[in-house]
Chain A
Amino acid sequence: MIQVNDITFRYAGQKDYVFDGFSLTLEQNNIYGLLGKNGTGKSTLLYLISGLLRPLRGNVIVDGIDARKRNADMLSELFLVPEEFSLPPISLDEYVRLNSPFYPHFSREILEACLTDFELQPSLRLDALSMGQQKKAFMSFAMAAGTRLLLMDEPTNGLDIPSKSQFRKVVAEYMSKERTLIISTHQVHDVEMLLDHVLMLTPKQLLLDKSAEELTSRYVFEFRTSSDLQPSALDPQPSALNPQPSSLNPQPSALDPQPSSLSPQPSLDVIYAEPSLQGMAVIAERQEGAAETQLNLELLFNAVTKGLIK
């Protein structure tokens, strides 16, 4: 468990505080999504949890150990994949041979499986790899390290399109129940299917701290036509000429005019809507009996930052 207790932090030479009296508790066995605008302190929070930065006041406790101490036992159960990292000019095989002894739960099988998923060879030299390939190699090592806590800062930055889905597959497959993963990202669509819990940061404070389960049980995330959002569209029966896309079926089609249980409800329930290519992207109160929809993090983020969801 991670406890961030009333921390105050600012960078050397800066006037503004990144955190001021900030507290947070993160439970084990969850995949947390850490979202926020640029400069709200997402990476800083990951660095504070890792002990790479020291709060001016308060403390960060990771599994009962003060992160500031950079204790070896704590570090052997914590792996950080930063947005930018450097790897030594050696082969991946040698890197694994030299670094794996530091991690007591390191699994060679998981490493090989991840490398296979990412289409990488262990014999490759790390300095000969592209940035994206280096990231995949490093993430494979991170998954194989078997640490109880895994922190990833913008993990999908620099990955090509197939690699992003490979990343999701790898995380979904090798995140065991004992592990906690915190993903800080702007690429919300790359990770929204993975998350158990959503954290949203605004300068100095936590704007949202809710489980994905709670969010999807309270809200529906779907697409509606703009006419549905007009007063005349309050009629709850969508017509065949005006098919309603749902988040599971975002392409409106005249061939599929039947409203389903996933069809949107009248616009009175709409909490937030914004135009999108598929129509109006909407967050609405979930009605009793309506099916759950997939979390739309981008929409949720916009609604939360506008203060419409707390």
Chain B
Amino acid sequence: MTQFNMKRFGTLLKCHLLEERRNLLRMFLGFTLGLLFLHIFFTEVNGYAADEAAYLEKVEQAVTISLVVIMFGMLGCASAIFQNIRDKRPRTTFFMLPASTVEKFLVRFVWSTVVAFVIWMAAFVVADVLRMLASLLIGHEGMTSGIAMLFDFSDLSGLSEGIGYLALFVIANGLFNHAVYTLGGTIFRRQPFIVTTLLLLVLLTLVVWAWHSPSILGDVQLITLNDNIVTVHPLYYAIVAILLVLAAVCYWLAWRCFSRMPLITNKWLNV
């Protein structure tokens, strides 16, 4: 009656990844081509870089845009968490596998987050290497690596305290978005990414309206930076906490929906 068995989970993960390897390869090739197109567009097509400094700037632009694409791509992968069981036949196979619903949910969660992240990163590296090879062929001097820039971006140690607060906010927001897209991918049977995005836009509009409405919140500054002194509004902590709690609730709801998901569902919803 064990709900989670590590050995069984490992067997299920291995089985799932090996059976899905063709899809994983397809994803990797698609992501690589997409990112390579972006890199080439920003470094070679979108204006000519007269010198290496200008070229470096263009690579920076390409890396920044790639990061945005990867971020949205991760949300897309979160909403595709149950893409494998969209139809009745694969759904029967997946549901009938002798593993608990927790293990099955976690396997798909690992697929839509960890595996997707690894694929995105591998695609970024390959696209960057291909871009560097292309730049050598075109005649740029020196090798300007976007991968090194990616590490520079993630190094926050030299930045001010205010950036730390901002980073925490971004992480909480990112987690919340990921959880919402995971829930959307579990509940919506068709076009989960688009439907979830539309719902989030509605929610965002309401939040922005509330934010700027004097009778509700007014224009609250969450983080203020004056002469290197950071002032954090108490609402900042409340919002970060709410986002984290909401993220946890969305993940839990996604699992709950999955554990009760029937084989034959509504046309649009997995209920």
Contact = CB atoms under 8 A, between A and B. Distances in A.
Interface of A: 11-13, 47, 50-54, 65, 69-73, 75-76, 78-80, 82, 84-90, 94, 98-99, 101-103
Given A75-B97, A89-B22, A98 B14 contact: yes
A102 B1 contact: no
Nearest to A99: B15
Contact of A72 (B5, B93, B260, B262): B5
Given A90-B19, A94-B18, A98-B15, A82 B260 contact: no
26 contacts: A11-B264, A12-B264, A12-B266, A13-B266, A13-B267, A52-B96, A52-B263, A65-B1, A70-B95, A72-B98, A73-B1, A73-B2, A75-B97, A78-B96, A80-B96, A82-B89, A82-B92, A85-B89, A85-B93, A87-B93, A88-B19, A94-B18, A102-B11, A102-B15, A102-B98, A103-B98
Interface in B26-69: none
Contacts of A75: 96-99
Interface string B11-23: 1101100111010
Contacts of B96: 50, 52, 75, 78-80
Contacts of B5: 72
Interface string B65-93: 00000000000000000000001111011
Contacts of A50: 95-96
A75 B266 CA distance: 25
A73 B3 CA distance: 10
Contacts of A86: 87, 89-90, 93
B100 interface: yes
Contact of A102 (B99, B266, B267, B271): B99
B213 interface: no
B145 interface: no
Q: Which 9 A-B pairs have the closest CB atoms?
A: A76-B98, A52-B263, A88-B19, A75-B98, A86-B89, A102-B98, A98-B15, A12-B266, A72-B100
Given A13-B267, A70-B101, A89-B22, A52 B15 contact: no
Given A72-B2, A88-B19, A52 B95 contact: yes
A87 B263 CA distance: 17
A101 B11 contact: yes
A54 B262 contact: yes
A79 B11 CA distance: 18
B265 interface: yes
A101 B99 CA distance: 11
A94 B19 CA distance: 9
A239 B249 CA distance: 82
B128 interface: no
Contacts of B19: 88, 90, 98
Contacts of B95: 50-52, 70
Contact of A84 (B11, B88, B267, B271): B88
Given A53-B263, A54-B262, A72-B8, A80 B92 contact: yes
Interface in B189-234: none
Contact of B263 (A47, A72, A88): A47
Contacts of A85: 89, 92-93
A282 B8 CA distance: 54
Nearest to B22: A89
A84 B89 contact: yes
Contacts of B260: 54
Q: Which of B1, B14, B271 counts the most chain A CB atoms within 10 A?
A: B1
B187 to A, nearest CB: 13
Given A12-B262, A75-B99, A98-B15, 16 more contacts: A12-B271, A13-B267, A47-B264, A50-B95, A52-B92, A54-B260, A54-B262, A69-B101, A73-B1, A75-B96, A79-B96, A82-B92, A85-B92, A87-B93, A98-B14, A99-B97
